[in-house]
Amino acid sequence: MKNTRIILLVACLMGNLAIAFSQTQTKARRVWFDTDIMIGLPERAPREVDDGVTLIMALALPSIEIVGISTITYVDYGYDVTKKILNYYAPDRKIPVYKGSPEANDPGVENDATRALAEALRKEKLTILALGPATNVATVLKNHPELASQIEEIVFCAGRTPGFAFKPGLQKSTVSDFNFEIDTVSFEIVLNSGVKTVLSGFECSAYLLLGKVDTEFLKNGNEADRWLHSVLVPWQQRAKQLFGVEGFIPYDVTPLGHITHPEYFLYYRDIPVRMDTRANDATIGRRRPPTKPFLEVSYDYKTPWKVDYAYKTLPGFEEIVIELLACPVNRK
């Protein structure tokens, strides 16, 4: 295990040196991070860790600079755990955190996050990495449509191709496209705004799996590593119960990967996207109405909305994820 840790650290440092060298003439991309982060949430069962893993990865990458973070759903817990992660992984950086929509069902209602995002966009053009429902972003676009031109692109973790079902692990259960389904009105606002939109969801992430062997090295690391290990293990075990595989698909890392490592992705460019309502295919979850909305892309669709759709990761990206989790950049 010690040798594995050393190999990961060397790979991480070499990778960061290569990125830093390539950026001698390239400015870091400035990104707003909008997230329904729930990693470590003390609830009835472990909650997804993807957003937290993605934030930790982003903090280790010199190719982007996070200028602000907004939370959505569980905003109080999200605010606190985001501050915890920043204290662990970026203690010397001053990245502001704001609370957004607590229920993700009120597009147009201003909050601390939407006001801060609007102010940031007035100052400069930004890329928005949106890992949860679209409510915060839609509120800014609805109330301040003049700011649409200040958004370089919005990258969402959502969407699918026709007929594709979200079936993790042994593919015996089907999960929802939660980020889209919880607030379809906000996605419609975003698509109507004309802002360049990228979708990278379950389909793109389906062949990524972080199991026990991939994260075991964290157990014997520093305080940050040990905390991360303590919240990953219950989620891995929960995945074993639900999907038959002791490991989780880190869906949210692929929207970040689109920004930082696009060469590891395959895309359908400028592809029509539409919303449709039909029978609910989800087999797990507390809320399963008989019908539900679907966000789908196809070149056969006749719709004014078009997006770039990342549909597959290439070999090597999963190793990048693991290497970035091992990076000691600014870490306590």
Tens of pLDDT, residue by residue over 86-112, are: 999 999 999 999 999 999 999 999 999
Quick: pLDDT tens for 238-274.
889 888 998 899 999 999 999 999 999 999 999 999 9
Cα–Cα distance, 121 to 147 (Å, whole number): 7
pLDDT of amino acid 328:
62
Exposed/middle/buried for residue 58 (C-beta within 10 Å: 0-12, 13-18, 19+): buried
Which of the two residues, 7 and 168, has the higher pLDDT score? 168
Residue 8 reports pLDDT greater than 90? no
Quick: pLDDT tens for 116-156.
999 999 999 999 999 999 999 999 999 999 999 999 999 99
Residue 20 reports pLDDT greater than 60? no
Domains and CATH numbers, the chain: 2-326 (3.90.245.10)
Mean pLDDT over 223-241 rounds to 92
Residues contacting residue 24 through CB under 8 Å, at least 6 positions apart: none
Whole-prediction pTM = 0.92
Query: Could you tell me what percent of the chain has a pLDDT over 90?
Result: 79
pLDDT of amino acid 181:
96
CB 295 within 8 A of CB 273: yes
